[in-house]
Structure 1
Amino acid sequence: MTVATTTAQLKAEHIKPKIGSRILNSKEELLSGELAAQLREELEARGILVFPKINFDDAEQIAFTKTLGEYAPEGPDGGPSKITLDVKENPASAEYLKGSLYWHIDGTRNEVPILASLLSCKVPSPKGTGNTGFSNTYAAYDALSDEDKAYYDDLRVLHGPWASLFYYEPEPSLAKLKIMQGIGEKVLPLVWKHASGRKSLVLGCTCHHVQGVDHLESARIIHGLREWATGSEFTYSHEWSVGDLVIWDNTGTMHRAEAYDPNCGRMMHRTKLEGEEPWAVE
């Protein structure tokens, strides 16, 4: 007897020309794993994928994450982590997550940054607040002039989570600064030359200074490139509805939570994919 086999086809529509795709496949198709290779390809090409009102529960979100690569457990029970600024719901991390309100890439102090994060909306903030913004730093690099690429390609930047502290608390106590500095820091290339041959900018609020240039030029480079990469051409702001899921490529995008009232109940559940490529540190 011959058994008929079917292969699901990805149903995707572009959100903006240089960033984002909306995925319209059913929950069953996504959980089957048949779309994994196509989703991975679309994610690298587009930076972020949006699954409108897919309504994964925690177990389904974990199962879906595992179809795409190696699952990176976060919580003590291996389940999704709660992402909220509400200290009642997230007493251990709410303070640290204040840095998430500014453009950043996750894992800048790690040898191998995570490949991607998957965020699902359980409780949105009031309309007009609490969006998540994304910046395609592959596309931002590609759009630079050849002259600028030649200048930036070999520069290196010191990153540390402690540098982000001054974005939300300009006058921290010495004790808090020492705690943040204890998390660690790392020198990274300003331009990540990926194994695929593509290049992306490594930016964000963890940047402290560019090595080998004076402090004025360093500040102009860091903040000027951030301004460039977060222009409307390269960015997308997602307004959350209950049940939405968004995946972003952490190796070629920046992201940030947009301001919201920490007491409004906004709640996201996050899963991650283990990294597959170390920083291109020479």
Structure 2
Amino acid sequence: MSATVNLKVERLSSALGALVTGVDLASGVDGAVVDRLRALFLEHQVLCIRGQASMSPQDQLDFAAEWGEVSVHPYVPSIEGYPGLMKIYDPNPVTQRWHADTTHAACPPALSMLLARTLPPIGGDTMWSSAYLAYENLGPGLRATLDGLRAVHKGTELAGAAGLDTGAVTQTHPVVRTHPVTGRKALFVNGDYTERFDGWSVEESAPLLEYLYAQVARSEYVYRHRWQVGDLVIWDNRCTQHAVVGDTGGAERVLHRVTIAGDRPA
């Protein structure tokens, strides 16, 4: 009997997000379960698959490989022995700003998977926002303007610290990208990596970029996730942005992240 029979789904907000229970990923899943999860993922943009604390690092990598090619971050190291599996620590200024992951790459990740290992007694929630809604609810004139713009994305200061040349972590992408599977348009600029509009100065770009970042942060587009140990959250990096709430009080917070390679935004 397929495990999809026991799989239960609960929407978590009106904008995005769904909770999935009734599946044990550490025991392995068949193609039907992966297909069902993939369909739910495209529908809800963010999935929390609860109760996966028994997954080993290799289990997480094996499950991630069912979704595509595991990518290795260009300058943040992997956990030793597990290429592509990163340890995410306490909130910091980079993770607390609204962003999509590594948009300074030529082909940013399609999706990411984050497994909660150690959590503080309180705090450290992660918020996700629908970049679909942030774009779709703009006025038609602004949407038409943005459709014709591109933006320059650059890596953070960590890239320089890792010895990478600026050109190696600088890319120009459309301000509005079309999702390669759903065909929906999503806003694709963010406060971590977007420097300016292509052909505009930083000063000229700032007012409009700040306005767009504020749209992403609108509460009606956001789902806020309160973590439990063993939560495996999968999100679509092509049509969402996320930010961590930095209220852990310095308590330990450790999550394991795997990203899946994506395509060039168009």
Q: Identify the TM-score tier after normalising by the shorter chain.
A: 0.7 to 0.9
Percent identity reads 27
> Where does residue 75 of structure 2 map in the other structure?
none
Question: Which residue identity is paired with 2:48?
Answer: V
Match of 2:215 among 228, 240, 255: 228
> Where does residue 53 of structure 1 map in the other structure?
51
Does residue 116 of structure 1 match 2:116? Answer: no
The equivalences for 1:165-176 within 5 A come to: none
> Where does residue 224 of structure 2 map in the other structure?
237
Separation of aligned partners in 2, 1:33 and 1:61: 16
> Where does residue 138 of structure 2 map in the other structure?
144
Is 1:99–1:164's contact at 8 Å kept on the other side of the alignment? Answer: no
The equivalences for 1:41-190 within 5 A come to: 41-55=39-53, 56-72=55-71, 74-78=78-82, 80-85=85-90, 98-127=93-122, 129-162=123-156, 181=166, 184-190=169-175
Report the CA distance between 1:180 and its aligned residue: 8.3
Task: Report the CA distance shift for 1:202/1:163 in structure 2 as closer, same or farther (over 3 A).
Answer: farther
RMSD (Å) for aligned C-alpha atoms: 2.9
Is 1:188–1:279's contact at 8 Å kept on the other side of the alignment? Answer: yes
Separation of aligned partners in 1, 2:104 and 2:151: 12
Aligned residues: 255
Report the CA distance between 1:49 and its aligned residue: 0.4
TM-score, length-scaled by structure 1:
0.79
> Where does residue 34 of structure 2 map in the other structure?
36
SS of 1:125's partner is coil
Is 2:57–2:82's contact at 8 Å kept on the other side of the alignment? Answer: no
Question: Which residue identity is paired with 1:218?
Answer: S
**Which sections of structure 1, spanning at least 5 residues, go unmatched?**
87-96, 166-174
Report the CA distance between 1:264 and its aligned residue: 1.7
Report the CA distance between 1:46 and its aligned residue: 1.6
Task: Report the CA distance shift for 1:134/1:143 in structure 2 as closer, same or farther (over 3 A).
Answer: same
Report the CA distance between 1:225 and its aligned residue: 0.9
Is 1:125–1:264's contact at 8 Å kept on the other side of the alignment? Answer: yes
Query: Higher mean Cα deviation, 40-49 or 64-73?
Result: 64-73
Task: Report the CA distance shift for 1:161/1:134 in structure 2 as closer, same or farther (over 3 A).
Answer: same
Is 2:118–2:253's contact at 8 Å kept on the other side of the alignment? Answer: yes
Separation of aligned partners in 2, 1:239 and 1:252: 21
Q: Deviations over 1:6-44 (max 9, x none)?
A: 472553221111210111232158733422122222212
Is 1:209–1:215's contact at 8 Å kept on the other side of the alignment? Answer: yes
Separation of aligned partners in 2, 1:135 and 1:164: 25
SS of 1:187's partner is strand
Report the CA distance between 1:45 and its aligned residue: 2.2
> Where does residue 255 of structure 2 map in the other structure?
268
Question: Which residue identity is paired with 1:229?
Answer: V
Larger Cα-atom Rg:
1
Separation of aligned partners in 1, 2:206 and 2:222: 22
SS of 2:234's partner is strand
Separation of aligned partners in 2, 1:187 and 1:136: 22
Is 1:50–1:244's contact at 8 Å kept on the other side of the alignment? Answer: yes
Report the CA distance between 1:130 and its aligned residue: 1.1
SS of 1:242's partner is coil
Question: Which residue identity is paired with 1:246?
Answer: V
SS of 1:62's partner is helix
TM-score, length-scaled by structure 2:
0.83
